[in-house]
Amino acid sequence: MNYDVLINTAIEKNEVLQLLRGEKEYEVIVSEFSPDIFPTDITSVLVECFYKQIKKIENIEKIFTTGLEKLLLGDAGDVYIAVLYFDACIFQEERNKATFTLDRKIIAEKIRTALNEKKEQLQESVTYKNGMTKKNPWKNIENFNNYYCKKYDFNIIE
């Protein structure tokens, strides 16, 4: 897959949100050995379409952050996808692989607000745009939150 073409097409067509969701031609297939249900390969999209474009695409950090914030305004599936990207960002930052960093406190606050609004649905299931359903994503969110509280002293759950 040519990630340069993927991100450039998404930007030109104003479809970064669709790229982040893994909709249609923007879906990056997740390994069949993945133990969980994802709408797209979150890490590959983050690293290849955003981090590796830092010197090629002006304002790529802002493009990513804006996309993340738009996901947080969407349905429960979009909110969960935003949480997955946020967690992937933290993981990449911990490994010193991130070419830009998020303002964790600001994004965490926006995530907390979105999670509060969508909590009930996230405790049941979410269906991604590709039709796949993730049951009880709230359990993963709680695990992420516990890690953030212990390691970084912030939380994403009220």
Average pLDDT rounded to a whole number, residues 77-88: 98
pLDDT at 95 over 90: yes
Lowest mean pLDDT among 5-9, 27-31, 43-47: 27-31
The domain total for the chain is 1
On whether residue 158 sits in a domain, the answer given is no
Q: pLDDT value at position 32?
A: 79
The answer for residues whose C-beta is within 8 angstroms of residue 81's C-beta and 6 or more apart is 20, 21, 39, 42, 71, 128
Triad 20, 31, 114: Cα angle to 5°: 35
Neighbours of 51 (CB within 10 A): 18
Q: Supply the range of the domain harboring residue 21.
A: 3-152
Per-residue pLDDT tens digits for 30-57: 887 777 889 999 999 999 999 999 999 9
On whether residue 15 sits in a domain, the answer given is yes
On whether residue 51 sits in a domain, the answer given is yes
On whether residue 157 sits in a domain, the answer given is no
Q: pLDDT value at position 31?
A: 81
The domain that contains 8 carries what CATH number? 1.25.40
Q: What is this structure's pTM?
A: 0.96
In which band, very low, low, confident or very high, does the pLDDT at 138 lie, cut at 50, 70 and 90?
very high
Radius of gyration (C-alpha) of the chain in whole angstroms: 15
pLDDT at 119 over 80: yes
Looking at the chain, list the stretches that DSSP marks H as alpha helix, in order from N- to C-terminal side: 3-12, 16-21, 42-44, 60-71, 76-94, 104-122, 137-152
On whether residue 126 sits in a domain, the answer given is yes
